Amino acid sequence: MDPNKLTQKVREALSASQAIARKHRHQSVDAEHLLLATLQQPDGLAPRLLARMQVPVPEFVGRLVQELDRLPQVSGDGADQLYISGRLNRILIQAQDGAERLKDDFVSVEHLLIALAEDTADAPSTKLFREFGLTKDRLL
């Protein structure tokens, strides 16, 4: 993943996702943290896209936060050490590949959402995407 290929909004979301992981006392930054960060961006694209697809954004965000609250927490030595999960790294690479397929120069929030919609992991965001009918085709 080339960080120079990320839009400013994606960079901001990645930074915010680390803060979200710290707040929830998680050891790794995963897709759910990044998804929440994109949904909390002022004037962000993610909430507008979901609203346009008639997804109740406050309910979706509430459910996502509930899922984050259920994840294991760390404390004590090493609690400040954060790492990017293998799954999030894979999703970022998939988003970059998607941007290239669409002939876009930069990875933007919509590429992240599409990559999340394509994710097959047994994870909270995958379940939420299914439950709310967020698919790659709908996002495109």
pLDDT at 99 over 70: yes
State the Rg of the chain over Cα.
Answer: 14
If residue 85 lies in a helix (H) or strand (E), which one and from where to where?
none
Is the pTM value of this prediction over 0.85? yes
- Dist. CA 74–CA 78, nearest whole Å: 8
Residues with Cβ within 8 Å of 137's Cβ and at least 6 positions away in sequence, in order, are: none
Question: What residues pair up with 35 in beta bridges, in sequence order?
Answer: none
Per residue in 3-28, pLDDT tens?
889 999 999 999 999 999 999 999 99
For residue 75, name the pLDDT band (cuts at 50, 70, 90): confident
pLDDT at 72 over 90: no
